[in-house]
Structure formats: C-alpha cells, structure tokens
Amino acid sequence: MILSRLVAAWLLVTACWLVVDVATRRVTRREVSRHLAQWRCIEALLVTLFGSLWFASLGSGEWWVLFVLVGAMVAGTAAATPRDGTRASKGLSAAIDAARYVVAGGILAARLG
C-alpha cells in the first residue's frame, strides 16, 4: 500500500517538474536534453523519499518551511554555478528552482501527509 502511494507521489512530482522544465526552456529558448529529463526523474525520486521521511516521522505541520529551505539550498547552489546567462536570468532560474521544491512539497503533503 505505501509503495503504491510513494510511486504515485513520485510520478506526480516528476511530471510537475518536467512540465516546469519544458515551459521554462520554451520561454528561454533552450532545448530540454534527455540528460536533464533523466536527472529530474532521479531528483524527484530523492525528494519524494525525503518528503516521505518527513511525513512519516515528524508529521505534516509546517511542511512548507522545510521545502522552502531545501529549495533555497538547491537554488543557491545552482545560481552559484557558472553558466551562461545574465544575472537576471540566473535569479529567475533560482526562483523557479526554489518554487519547484515548494510545489513538490505540496504534492507530497497531499499524497503522503
């Protein structure tokens, strides 16, 4: 039973993140690579397992704080990584990365909390 809930949550987070990536890439006119899509699937699995530990052990209260902090850590690391683009596009990319985690937390709270 719990495995099916985890798989369903993982698939929802993965689908959400892939949709966000495609939309972001279309706006920025970049191509979505197969490597990025594969990484998003793995990343979604890891965040799903992380969320399941949170909801199974500490409860569901103030889940959004946890996912804001994790998203900010990921976004900060990505923003500090040298890549092409202006400072504004790096900021937008960091904001999108942080928001992805908060949305994933919401999905996991609904499915697992």
Predicted pLDDT of residue 80? 63
Predicted pLDDT of residue 84? 59
pLDDT tens-digit map of 12-32: 999 998 898 888 877 777 776
Mean pLDDT over 101-106 rounds to: 90
User: How many domains does one find in the chain?
Assistant: 1
Domain of residue 107 covers: 2-112
Which class for 27: exposed (0-12), middle (13-18), buried (19 or more C-beta within 10 A)? exposed
pLDDT tens-digit map of 42-99: 889 989 988 888 888 776 667 888 888 888 888 776 666 666 566 667 777 778 888 8
Predicted pLDDT of residue 22? 84
Q: What is the 3-state secondary structure (H, E, C) of the chain?
A: CHHHHHHHHHHHHHHHHHHHHHHHHHHHCCCCCHHHHHHHHHHHHHHHHHHHHHHHHCCCCCHHHHHHHHHHHHHHHHHHCCCCCCHHHHHHHHHHHHHHHHHHHHHHHHHHC
